[in-house]
Amino acid sequence: MEVLEPTTGTYQLEDYKKMREKFSWEDTKKAFSWNKTGKVNIAYETIDRHVEEGRGEKTALYYSDASRDEAFTFQAMKEKTNQAAHMFRNLGVQKGDRVFIFMPRSPELYFALLGAVKVGAVVGPLFEAFMQDAVRARLEDSEASVIVTTGDLASRIPHNDLPHLEKILIVGDSELTGKDEKFISYDEKMKAASSDDSAIEWVDLEDGFILHYTSGSTGKPKGVYHVHKAMLQHYQTAEWVLDLREDDIYWCTADPGWVTGTSYGIFGPWLYGATNVVRGGRFSPDDWYSTIDKYNVSVWYSAPTAFRMLMAAPKETLENHDLSSLRHILSVGEPLNPEVVRWGWEVFNLRIHDTWWMTETGAMLICNYPSEPIKPGSMGKPIPGVDAAIIDDNGNELPPNEMGNLAIREGWPSQMRKIWNNEPKFNEYFAIKGWYVSGDTAYQDEDGYFWFQGRNDDVIMTAGERVGPFEIESKLVEHPAIAEAGVIGKPDEIRGHIIKAFVALRDGYEETDELKAEIQKFIKSELAAHAVPREIDFKDKLPKTRSGKIMRRVLKAWELDEPTGDLSTMDDN
């Protein structure tokens, strides 16, 4: 068995075993100022606490994209987020109201998001690539009253169909502001807002602060609701797993539209007081290496797809940059292939540390640590304070090396507290008493390392993003040519999986490449670019159960040229 031993050095988590034995989440509470008052606000702890503790002049944020290059200290972040908080207060936002953020990465995104959390709102970050239907589904379900966006993206918000949506704040110049009283200039409201800290709402640990929509294999996207208490775990994993130190420059490449981009693009690193790099714009190997080089990034958190794309880039791209500032690399979102770990070892002389968690878990749960050996291909071991196990469908724990449901003992701090408006869905995760059942299958080896085997539902992980087949299928059948559609993930070397659709056409439509392209364009313009099926196969009819459900398992077997298994529920008419 291949094992990468830790390099000698000092680490934030020196002794994993000992910490597991002695640690209690009560210990972490002591790091925060609310320990004395009992009231809390995660945004205050993330930013303002550092100013109170004398770190106001430290750089909190380096932001750059093709046209901007800016830096903000913790003091500046405190003022900007206070201003945003006052802006929301002045607009009538109350504790518990849903405030959505729908814009590309920019400093304003971070001000608005933290400002909304400061006033006790529940913030809903939306990925900038979402098109109208994806935006509508999320705003409708959450009954959001305010959204912050840009002039370019505002047209994708179907505000006339959303009775709860009262205000649309537009960042930057736009013709929309002034035309309709719903559209308001963010810049003007920010300018007029005070930067004192009187707008902060002190809340309880169990009050909500964020709603991340994510996909399952059935039904609409689910609103995963997290509470302020999650900060304990954001903070503690920033210490143990990100291994952050006083002088680190940290870069998480994920967009805040996804949970990694908030838990570890905002909260974890800033709760720990690190300097955070945010790079706007699209991925390119040259741009990414330049970012590491330019800011002297020392701790870097990314995803297997990105690493695989970097691996595939010409060697010169790597050689043109000085990446010697890197000290610690981490990965999340999909299985981290051993060959990627080997590549990392070869080119950076560093181990890539895989971490496992989910939108629902709010923060890291199973990880590799700088002070522990790594078995390439394994997700690692549970963090201190958390118990994980492999269980069968009746909740019995399975012995080492047996595959089963990856489950977590209920009660970790950053655990989701509800699925918005959908209690039955929430309860499904906890159907086995005492456990959260993840939906992943895995096994644990005799040394306690967990090994990911797959999803046991039809959720597709493509390029590190989680896509629900149902949402795409529903959209596909809205296309006039399509009678039926089934969507699966097809294994792909770079992206992990790509989205593949099987469609049956309505009478009178021809199976042409033009039609395929038109269908792809339709999904891209109505849902999102990352939801587009890269491959489409035409079929006369699709395999269905007698109750009319498309059998994705049969589609997968067709695709992989595997046996189709038990077809007893299939409707063969």
Footprint of ligand PRX (CB under 6 A): 214, 259-260, 332-335, 354-359, 379, 438-440, 452, 455, 461, 466
The count of other CB atoms within 10 Å of the CB of residue 433 is 7
Q: Which is nearer to ligand PRX, 296 or 453 (CB)?
A: 453
- Residues with Cβ within 8 Å of residue 512, at least 6 apart in sequence: none
CB of 379 to ligand PRX, least distance (A): 5
Read off the tokens for 11. Answer: 């680490």
CB of 453 to ligand PRX, least distance (A): 9
Do the beta carbons of residue 359 and residue 464 sit within 8 Å? no
CB of 357 to ligand PRX, least distance (A): 5
Q: Which is nearer to ligand PRX, 356 or 502 (CB)?
A: 356
Q: Which is nearer to ligand PRX, 168 or 358 (CB)?
A: 358
CB of 529 to ligand PRX, least distance (A): 17
Q: Which is nearer to ligand PRX, 354 or 372 (CB)?
A: 354
Do the beta carbons of residue 454 and residue 441 sit within 8 Å? yes
CB of 260 to ligand PRX, least distance (A): 5
Angle, vertex CA 386, rays to CA 365 and CA 26, nearest 5? 115
Do the beta carbons of residue 411 and residue 385 sit within 8 Å? no
DSSP string, 119-155: TTPEEEEE-TTB-HHHHHHHHHHHT-SEEEEETTTGG
Q: Which is nearer to ligand PRX, 356 or 412 (CB)?
A: 356
Per-residue exposure over 395-415, b if at least 16 CB sit within 10 Å of its own CB, e if not: eeeeeeeeebbbbbeeebbbb
CB of 458 to ligand PRX, least distance (A): 12
Q: Which is nearer to ligand PRX, 102 or 436 (CB)?
A: 436
CB of 405 to ligand PRX, least distance (A): 11
Do the beta carbons of residue 539 and residue 572 sit within 8 Å? no
CB of 131 to ligand PRX, least distance (A): 19
Q: Which is nearer to ligand PRX, 101 or 358 (CB)?
A: 358
φ/ψ of 34, rounded to 5, equals -70, -10
What SS3 string covers 416-464? CCEECCCHHHHHHHCCCCCEEEEEEEEEECCCCCEEEEEECCCCEEECC
Q: Which is nearer to ligand PRX, 91 or 259 (CB)?
A: 259
Q: What is each CA distance from 407 to 23, 324, 440, in whole angstroms?
A: 21, 38, 8
CB of 331 to ligand PRX, least distance (A): 7
Q: Which is nearer to ligand PRX, 214 or 275 (CB)?
A: 214
Q: In what order do the strands lie in the sheet with 328-331?
A: 69-73, 59-64, 275-279, 249-252, 299-302, 328-331, 352-356, 366-367, 381-382
